[in-house]
Amino acid sequence: MKKGEIYEGMIETIEFPNKGIVWVKDESVGETVRVIVKNGMPGQKVRFQINKKRKNRCEGRLLEVLEKSEREVREPVCDAFPACGGCMYQTMAYKDQLSMKAGQVRALIEDALVRGGQVKADAPEEADYVFEGIQGSPLEFGYRNKMEFSFGDAVKDGPLTLGLHKKGSTYDVLTTGDCKIVHEDFTKILKCVLEYCREQKLSYYRKMSHEGYLRHLLVRRAQTTGDILVNLVTSSQAEHDFTELVEELLKLELEGHITGILHIINDSLADVVQSDETRILYGKDYFYETILGLKFKITPFSFFQTNSLGAEVLYSAARNYIGSTKDMTVFDLYSGTGTIAQILADVSKKVIGVEIVEEAVEAARENAVLNHLDNCEFIAGDVLKVLDDVEEKPDFIVLDPPRDGIHPKALEKIIQYQVPKMVYISCKPSSLARDLEILLAGGYRVERVQCVDMFPATVHVETVVMLSHKKPDSVINVKVEFGEGEGKVPLDNIAKRAEAYKPKERVTYKMIKEYIEAKYGFKVHTAYIAEVKRDLGLPMYDVPNAVEELKQPRKHPTAEKVEAIKDALKYFDILK
């Protein structure tokens, strides 16, 4: 198999977030190879081109869907599908989307449990934590309370467009005039603004040359109050009077109501929505949203969960795990506009929120006053640094970091508090799995896991994890001196050991099973793989994965299965 070659095959499964797994025969060596093909659906027959080939990892670029999947049970709901790429799973039944996402999270968590030492690779049946499945979003469509549309064109020098970027393109913008994951009010506003800008022949800002005027349209709509904030973002390269546009927008027949129309000037070279200057064209520059009975003031740039009703499900799941915090000091790390802190405030002694965006911290403070809570403190700054300066010690910690997860050094500081319990809310399970390994190594164990789907039809999924601290049975102190001389550990040795322990491409039991099924046409149990490895004297931690549970007394593999397992171990370089 070489880079550039074209193959066909069936997408057997999808690993988080959108990694389709296809097994194909590489005729040049007579082997069956596992290829990752992104952006497909489970069960589709696809044609793809190999674009990455490494020893244990092969990737292909999807060229064409040859046959639809049986799991595509309905017609696309919008005309930007599949070019937009935002709602890849919209043709799958919602129930099916949910079970696929739950399976993806479970596999990642259970890998992390093995790698972090909570579960032994050869005894997956001893995975002593509770995986509670997935809760869906109350709304399958129209669930987003915020959308950032870009101005551009769909083809070079084509007519002005306003909407979302084409999948995989930084430049081409599709007009998403019937996007179904936002309320109809969003599309009415989008069409009105686009029509006006086309009539006025306003230019759009080009990312390469940094020339042009129109940049983004940011719309926020509170799901519970129907308040709408319209933000038109331009460069400062022209001056335009938007009075007529404001009149047009206010004439629209909307289900909600516009509380503010803002003109934001942004000359930043980066393609992000931010403000050098904000002009209020109508109304005010904020609105209110209600979550679990609490009121939150939202400004154009403050972080707020984008699915308000879904956030209620997520926060309820977290609150359920957090339990009673009476007389406790709680740290809400990565607190945004302080939603979680305020949900916990009236059942805690004190809550301290830490958040890096100053504007969100100011909003959090205002929100606490609005909700008559006087035991919340919000600190602006990076968690990594702020934890060094906070004098109070937490009794309980809630973590809700951004997609990339938690900085390892911040995790170290969090672990040092040794709080008996923590709840980690994650919007990216692969970052969560990486952070869990560090938390497990730091003496924590995973007790319960609940997934919540906040973004139906997309690849995203949220996870809430309850962790508890394992108290050590006993403690011994070991003093190690580094350097040359008797009784010291030479630094050279450390460098060699570090080299030997460098992370290798991870081969899971699942990969071995998939290889065997594709090549030999039969399934093998995890326990059989473990048994063959034990018999061969292979280290048991080399092939971690623990997804299945034993449902009957352990049997032994047949000779045929033993040979197939040995072949797979050789294929993945575990057996030389």
Ligand X SMILES: C[S@@+](CC[C@H](N)C(=O)[O-])C[C@H]1O[C@@H](n2cnc3c(N)ncnc32)[C@H](O)[C@@H]1O
Annotated binding-site residue? 505: no
Among 383, 415, 507, 516, binds ligand X (CB under 6 A): 383
The CA R_g of the chain, rounded to the nearest whole Å, is 27
Q: Pick the stretch among 16-24, 98-106, 355-363, 389-397 that binds ligand X (CB under 6 A).
A: 355-363
DSSP SS3 for 495: helix
Among 109, 217, 254, 354, binds ligand X (CB under 6 A): 354
In degrees, to the nearest 5, what angle opens at C-alpha 35 toward C-alphas 32 and 41?
120
* Integer Cα distance of 113 and 108 in angstroms: 9
* Integer Cα distance of 174 and 220 in angstroms: 20
User: What mask, x for binding ligand X by CB under 6 A, covers residues 356 to 375?
Assistant: xx--x---------------
HSE (side-chain half, CA atoms, 13 Å) at 181: 26
Q: Could you please report the per-residue DSSP string of 63-103?
A: EEEEE--TTB-S--SSTTTTTS-TTTTTTB-HHHHHHHHHH
On whether the CB atoms of residues 449 and 130 are closer than 8 A, the answer is: yes
The answer for residues whose C-beta is within 8 angstroms of residue 377's C-beta and 6 or more apart is 350, 351, 352, 353
Hey, CA dihedral for 231, 213, 161, 216, is it positive or negative?
negative
Annotated binding-site residue? 418: no
**Does the footprint of ligand X cover residue 330 (CB under 6 A)?**
no
Least Cβ distance, residue 429 to ligand X (angstroms): 14
**Does the footprint of ligand X cover residue 303 (CB under 6 A)?**
yes
The answer for residues whose C-beta is within 8 angstroms of residue 333's C-beta and 6 or more apart is 353, 354, 383, 397, 398, 399, 400, 401, 414
Residue type (1 letter), 464: V
Among 187, 339, 458, 545, binds ligand X (CB under 6 A): 339
> Residue 175 or residue 339: which is nearer to ligand X going by CB?
339
**Does the footprint of ligand X cover residue 355 (CB under 6 A)?**
yes
**Which sequence positions are flagged as catalytic?**
427
Give all strands of the β-sheet with 257-265 in edge-to-edge order: 173-175, 160-165, 146-153, 214-221, 227-234, 257-265, 277-283
Least Cβ distance, residue 45 to ligand X (angstroms): 37
Least Cβ distance, residue 370 to ligand X (angstroms): 16
Annotated binding-site residue? 7: no
> Residue 152 or residue 336: which is nearer to ligand X going by CB?
336
Go through the chain and tell me how many residues it has: 576
Strands 325-333 and 396-399: parallel
Least Cβ distance, residue 303 to ligand X (angstroms): 3
* Integer Cα distance of 209 and 563 in angstroms: 61
Number of residues that bind ligand X (CB under 6 A): 20
Angle between helices 509-520 and 526-536 (to 10 degrees): 100
Among 80, 376, 419, 427, binds ligand X (CB under 6 A): 427
* Integer Cα distance of 413 and 416 in angstroms: 5
What is the number of the residue whose Cβ is closest to ligand X?
Answer: 336
> Residue 90 or residue 275: which is nearer to ligand X going by CB?
275
Closest CA to 373 of 360, 364, 381: 364
**Does the footprint of ligand X cover residue 305 (CB under 6 A)?**
yes
Annotated binding-site residue? 416: no
**Does the footprint of ligand X cover residue 295 (CB under 6 A)?**
no
Among 283, 300, 336, 557, binds ligand X (CB under 6 A): 336
**Does the footprint of ligand X cover residue 20 (CB under 6 A)?**
no
Least Cβ distance, residue 294 to ligand X (angstroms): 12
User: What mask, x for binding ligand X by CB under 6 A, covers residues 399 to 418?
Assistant: -xxx----------------
> Residue 122 or residue 435: which is nearer to ligand X going by CB?
435
> Residue 149 or residue 334: which is nearer to ligand X going by CB?
334
Least Cβ distance, residue 302 to ligand X (angstroms): 8
**Does the footprint of ligand X cover residue 443 (CB under 6 A)?**
no
Least Cβ distance, residue 304 to ligand X (angstroms): 6
Closest CA to 421 of 321, 332, 319: 321
Task: Return residues touching ligand X (CB under 6 A).
Answer: 303-305, 334-337, 339-340, 354-357, 360, 382-383, 400-402, 427
Show binding-site residues for S-adenosyl-L-methionine: 305, 334, 355, 400
